[in-house]
Amino acid sequence: MALVSDGSARTFCQICRAECGMIVQVEDGKVLRVEGDPEDRWSRGKLCVKGRNAAEILYAKDRVLHPLLRVTKGGPFRRVCWEDAIDFIASRLEDLKERWGPEALAFYRGTTAKVVDGSVLERLAKLYGTPNVTGTWSVCVGPKILAYSHTFGRPPMPWCDLKNADYMILWGVSPVATHLHRYHGISADITEARRRGARLVVIDPRRLPIAAKAETYIQIRPGTDLAMALAMISHIIKSGLYDEEFVSAHTIGFDKLTEHVTPYTPRWAERITDVPASVIAEVATGFATTRPASLDRRQGVQHCRNATQTLRAMAILVAITGNVDIRGGLMLTPYRRLKSLAVPKDLPQRAKSFWQDRFPLARDASSLLPDAILSERPYPIRGLVVIEGNPMSCFANTGKVRQALAKLDLVVVHDLFMNDTTEFADLVLPACTFLEKGEISVQSLRTDYPVRTRTPVVEPQGEALPEWRWLSLLGRRLGYGQHFPFHSDQQALDAVLSEAGWTGREPATPTNHGQVLKDGFTTPSSKIELYSQSLEEQGHDPLPAAPLEWPKGDSYPYHLITGARVPHFYHSQHRNVPALRKGHPEPLAEISQSLASKLCVNDGDEVSIETRVGAAAFRVRATNDIHPLTISIPHGWAGAHNANWLVDDVDCDPLSATPPFRDMRCRVRKL
């Protein structure tokens, strides 16, 4: 742990993946104060409200500090020692394997389990024999990875060089509420670009604070981004505004694309998107004729029913305008390869993961887990180990999650606090905050970031253990002792670093503009694949097809978007921390003033929001800053306010298995 001049520790926050630089003042083994590290290149001395309250989380009175075992299913917990807890899990896992096979065990990792923990977990799962290690891939980066890899090849880490752009589109991006380092970076970059005269367009059903900086704000109908992107492509090609030289040198499939998008005119898209055809044409023209141009898109478009094809259309838009791998455009940074911890080569062949037949392109599809448990297809799943995650709050279709968790023979949860998933747990294990454990920065996977590591700042509270440590104890107890030789955070870090071939001190390598264009893309054709043969071979549209439309005369007349972020909480966490909760005491449904009048509801009135899947109750806040037929609710709340009671787990993006968190229909009733 690096020390600054007064003896404080220099580290980085890992409450979320932004990993802001942090200086922690420790006295007598206790954290006295945390502050932002002004020397951190990305966060520039700032911490969000969660980071500033890291000590409140560390010393929270309601933390789980000891292993807790239920005497009977659904009965009260009793405190046990770690040895008994590990014995309990090991004997249940041995029994599960014997009766149902190793694939009957699934692991789920939430967003807090990082590089070292993930590597140790992967090794344990392989040794035990289960392929079912799931996480947040399909609800986070999945559509982006599939869309970009089927367009530009792998391994690209796409990012927008907004600082040097002359035309910027932010599409479904809310940098103020999420990933602070991005906010400071984006804000500063946009401000600088605007000072130079760059134009900014913001597209979102909600008028986000970032829209105040924009020349053009477009209030699009939720779930219709693909229609707008197709219409922009169509307009650019029809008007001859594409970059002919770039297209001919670096892409394949342009002729097929041209034919494909001909019917998708701005006039066609106006009916679907509620964006006037003239505005679509104007933005398309501006994007195509102002060089360089950047298009940044985030969860706002990644959570729709056809997320991967929407992102493919946006990638094509960037490609035909020649804004790839140029200063001010879309940059493709290579990944640093992280090798998994080795396992013996002669392990028995593992079964296919439970999602593989239905979503063969998805790296994981955790949202399908409840369905797999209940249907027992492709095989029975009887045990679940949850590592710092909360399926009850975060998986789509809470009603189904509840039934599935209740059906399991074994549920183990490792977490900082009790939550609505621990209600179903047979065993709850005490986890560490980031200040109590070592880790490798997840940003180390990008070559334009340095490899960074941290060691613990203070000793764990109570009997809390980091994930890697209790998983290693379990591995040893299951008889895989020689594969878990780590006994300290440093040893675990060193093992993962050495397997990856890293020293932990690798510097950042700036991404060179033009390098990929020179070397060729890592697609089968070595070009940008506007038309994707590989998707076609997998039975998917090789070109993004017209978006799905909702049936006419539907009894669910309004659009529902869930998951609007607030800076006080990270997904389902932190509502129990008073300093954070007071900044955002209750979840509110945002609806337009016109819809509020139609429904005869005022601010503070409670409404029931219903979809085909379920219902949830929220108080209303009326605003003029949302699409008139749209209701927006936050996610991560427990009980009746859990947005996921409403989310369909079956009508997912057909490529990535991403549930339609931001693309549903609902009806509303005043309570």
Polymer length of the chain: 671
Residue 16 CA neighbour count, 13 Å, CB half: 25
Nearer to ligand SF4, 367 or 453 (CB): 453
The CA-atom distances, in angstroms, between 547 and each of 227, 280, 629 are 6, 16, 19
Contacts with ligand SF4 by CB under 6 A: the residue count is 12
Q: Tell me which stretch binds ligand SF4 (CB under 6 A): 13-21, 91-99, 462-470, 472-480.
A: 13-21
For residue 300, give the nearest of 557, 633, 562 by alpha carbon: 562
Q: Does 457 bind ligand SF4 (CB under 6 A)?
A: no
Nearest residue (beta carbon) to ligand SF4: 51
Q: 């070397």: which residue's tokens?
A: 519
Rounded (to 5) percent helix, strand, coil in the chain: 35, 20, 45
Q: Does 47 bind ligand SF4 (CB under 6 A)?
A: yes
The CA-atom distances, in angstroms, between 98 and each of 103, 119, 127, 478 are 11, 25, 15, 13
What minimum distance in Å lies between the beta carbon of 15 and ligand SF4? 4
Q: Are 414 and 387 in contact (CB under 8 A)?
A: yes
Give the strand pairing for 77-79 and 68-70.
Answer: antiparallel
Q: Which helix (H) or strand (E) holds 331?
A: strand 330-333
Among positions 8, 9, 16, 590, the unique one binding ligand SF4 when judged by CB under 6 A: 16
Encoded one letter per residue, x for contact with ligand SF4 by CB under 6 A and - for no contact, window 122-161 reads ----------------------------------------
Nearer to ligand SF4, 50 or 297 (CB): 50
Among positions 20, 93, 416, 588, the unique one binding ligand SF4 when judged by CB under 6 A: 20
In the region spanning residues 105 to 124, those forming contacts with ligand SF4, defined by CB under 6 A, are: none
Q: Are 264 and 228 in contact (CB under 8 A)?
A: no
Nearer to ligand SF4, 322 or 466 (CB): 466
Residue 644, number of CB atoms within 10 A of its CB: 29
Coil vs helix vs strand at 78: strand
502: which 2 tokens? Answer: 């890293």
Nearer to ligand SF4, 111 or 398 (CB): 111
Nearer to ligand SF4, 316 or 580 (CB): 580
Q: Are 36 and 47 in contact (CB under 8 A)?
A: yes
Q: Are 82 and 476 in contact (CB under 8 A)?
A: no
For 624, residues 6+ apart whose C-beta sits below 8 A from its C-beta are 207, 592, 593
What minimum distance in Å lies between the beta carbon of 39 and ligand SF4? 15
Nearer to ligand SF4, 261 or 451 (CB): 451
What minimum distance in Å lies between the beta carbon of 191 and ligand SF4? 20
Cis amide leading into 378 (omega within 30): yes
Among positions 34, 51, 111, 589, the unique one binding ligand SF4 when judged by CB under 6 A: 51
Q: Does 568 bind ligand SF4 (CB under 6 A)?
A: no
What minimum distance in Å lies between the beta carbon of 71 and ligand SF4? 37
What minimum distance in Å lies between the beta carbon of 195 and ligand SF4? 26
Q: Are 364 and 134 in contact (CB under 8 A)?
A: yes
Distance CA 416, CA 428 (A): 10
Among positions 9, 48, 190, 596, the unique one binding ligand SF4 when judged by CB under 6 A: 48
For residue 584, give the nearest of 571, 569, 572, 570 by alpha carbon: 569
- Return the exposure string of 387-409: e unless at least 16 CB atoms fall within 10 Å of the residue's CB, then b: bbbbbbbbbbbbebbbebbeebb
* 62: exposed, middle or buried (Cβ count in 10 Å: 0-12, 13-18, 19+): exposed
* E-state strands within 405-527: 410-415, 427-430, 439-440, 453-454
Among positions 9, 18, 338, 386, the unique one binding ligand SF4 when judged by CB under 6 A: 18
What minimum distance in Å lies between the beta carbon of 11 and ligand SF4? 11
What minimum distance in Å lies between the beta carbon of 634 and ligand SF4? 17
Q: Which helix (H) or strand (E) holds 297?
A: strand 293-297
Q: Tell me which stretch binds ligand SF4 (CB under 6 A): 44-52, 269-277, 467-475, 583-591.
A: 44-52
Q: Tell me which stretch binds ligand SF4 (CB under 6 A): 9-17, 252-260, 472-480, 583-591.
A: 9-17
630: which 2 tokens? Answer: 């749209």
Phi/psi-derived region of residue 373, left when phi > 0, alpha when psi is between -120 and 50, beta in every other case: alpha
Q: Does 50 bind ligand SF4 (CB under 6 A)?
A: yes
What minimum distance in Å lies between the beta carbon of 210 and ligand SF4? 16
What minimum distance in Å lies between the beta carbon of 47 and ligand SF4? 4
Nearer to ligand SF4, 48 or 210 (CB): 48
Q: Are 320 and 233 in contact (CB under 8 A)?
A: yes
Q: 């509801």: which residue's tokens?
A: 601
Q: Tell me which stretch binds ligand SF4 (CB under 6 A): 18-26, 109-117, 391-399, 616-624.
A: 18-26
Q: What is the C-alpha R_g of the chain?
A: 25
Q: Are 217 and 494 in contact (CB under 8 A)?
A: no
For 95, residues 6+ apart whose C-beta sits below 8 A from its C-beta are none
Nearer to ligand SF4, 115 or 318 (CB): 115
Query: In angstroms, how far is CA 154 from the centroid of its own chain?
Result: 19
Among positions 8, 9, 11, 13, the unique one binding ligand SF4 when judged by CB under 6 A: 13
Coil vs helix vs strand at 101: coil
What minimum distance in Å lies between the beta carbon of 174 and ligand SF4? 13
Q: Does 23 bind ligand SF4 (CB under 6 A)?
A: no
What minimum distance in Å lies between the beta carbon of 43 and ligand SF4? 6
Among positions 8, 9, 15, 484, the unique one binding ligand SF4 when judged by CB under 6 A: 15
Question: What would the DSSP string read from start to end of 613-644?
Answer: S-EEEEEEEEESSB-TTEEEE-S---GGG-GG
In the region spanning residues 177 to 236, those forming contacts with ligand SF4, defined by CB under 6 A, are: 179-180
What minimum distance in Å lies between the beta carbon of 19 and ligand SF4? 5
Nearer to ligand SF4, 15 or 106 (CB): 15
Among positions 9, 19, 460, 562, the unique one binding ligand SF4 when judged by CB under 6 A: 19
What minimum distance in Å lies between the beta carbon of 542 and ligand SF4? 38
Nearer to ligand SF4, 217 or 417 (CB): 417
Q: Which residues bind ligand SF4 (CB under 6 A)?
A: 13, 15-16, 18-20, 47-48, 50-51, 179-180
